Amino acid sequence: MRDDLWKSGIGMTSQRTRERLMERLFEEGIRNLQVLEAIRRTPRHLFLDEALAHRAYEDTALPIGHNQTLSQPYIVARMTELLLAGGPLDKVLEVGTGSGYQTAILAQVVERVFTVERILPLQERAKSVLREIGIRNVVFRHADGNWGWPQYGPYDAIMVTAAPAEVPAELLNQLADGGRLVIPVGEREQYLTLVVREGDNFIHQRIEPVRFVPLLAGAIHS
Ligand code: SAH
């Protein structure tokens, strides 16, 4: 990532504010140092509209337009930590690029990220922010992520940042043996769920209650 950018920002978007966020996540139980370091380095305010930038380092979800939200930093950190708990990761599929903030965190702790978004303008904006901050190990796809991205699978890990009623079968198919999938599941009541593949078995574990926007069907242009 470009040094000048992640050091930039004054007042509520400064490096010091980012360090406080990192300390807060540590207090909330995030222990993975790679994840904490990625949070500390990443200018979250660049992923938001200017009018919201001053709130970027609060531990809260924030709107990014098109009825979508940038996830709360604690959740971003927790999901990333759960993926990494099985060891270093090469290929990771992300469904729901949104602002690209979670993508940026992932890209700093794994080798390659393949990210899919159904709303084209969100994808374009995320692409340009990631380019601006110098993150290059990400490829983007405008599509319905319920179908994964078969071309590059199987993946060592898959992260989904919108909630389906049930885990999409195609995502399980594209998970490598030993691979880990982190996904919010449920409608009115949602649970962050970790699925670990062992051959043809999929071990599901409920982690904690969460609130995500729904995983929808089909890709749209506006
Ligand atoms: N990780 C994002 C969270 C964005 S909210 C961030 O940190 O900003 C969830 C995102 O999932 C939205 O951008 C939404 O458009 C996208 N999404 C919902 N259903 C999808 C689908 N079927 N395929 C791909 N993306 C989807």
Q: Quick: pLDDT tens for 79-133.
A: 999 999 999 999 999 999 999 999 999 999 999 999 999 999 999 999 999 999 9
- Residue 76 resides in a domain: yes
Cβ–Cβ < 8 Å for 176, 87: no
* DSSP track, the chain: --HHHHT---GGGSHHHHHHHHHHHHHTT---HHHHHHHHHS-GGGGS-GGGGGGTTSSS-EEEETTEEEPPHHHHHHHHHHHHTTS--SEEEEE--TTSHHHHHHHHHSSEEEEEESBHHHHHHHHHHHHHTT--SEEEEES-GGG--GGGPPEEEEEE-SB-SS--HHHHHTEEEEEEEEEEE-SSSEEEEEEEEETTEEEEEEEEEE--PBPPSS-B--
Is 51 within a domain? no
Average the pLDDT over 188-192 and give the result: 96
What whole-number percentage of the chain has pLDDT above 90? Answer: 91
Domain assignment of residue 163, yes or no: yes
**Given a cut of 60, is residue 144 above it in pLDDT?**
yes
CA nearest ligand 1 atom 11, residue: 96
Measured in angstroms, how far is the CA atom of residue 190 from the centroid of ligand 1? 16
The number of domains in the chain is 1
31-85: pLDDT as tens digits: 999 999 999 999 999 999 999 999 999 999 999 999 999 999 999 999 999 999 9
Q: Do the domain assignments include residue 1?
A: no
Is the residue at 127 inside a domain? yes
The answer, yes or no, to whether any atom of ligand 1 lies below 6 A from the CB of 122, is yes
Say if 142 falls within a structural domain. Answer: yes
How confident is the model over 159-187, as pLDDT tens digits?
Answer: 999 999 999 999 999 999 999 999 999 99
The enclosing domain of 123 has a CATH number of: 3.40.50.150
Choosing from 64, 68, 123 the residue with most ligand 1 atoms within 8 A of its CB, the one to mutate for a pocket test is: 68
> How much is the pTM?
0.95
What is the C-alpha separation between 179 and 124, in angstroms, rounded? 29
**Would you say residue 42 lies in a domain?**
no
- Whether residue 12 is predicted with pLDDT greater than 90 in this model: the reply is no
Q: Is the pLDDT of residue 8 over 60?
A: no
Query: Does 99 sit in the ligand 1 pocket, CB within 6 Å?
Result: yes
Is the minimum distance from the CB of 215 to ligand 1 under 6 angstroms? Answer: yes
Q: Tell whether 107 is covered by a domain.
A: yes
Residues annotated as part of the active site = 71
* Higher pLDDT, residue 18 or 99: 99
Domain of residue 65: give its range.
61-210
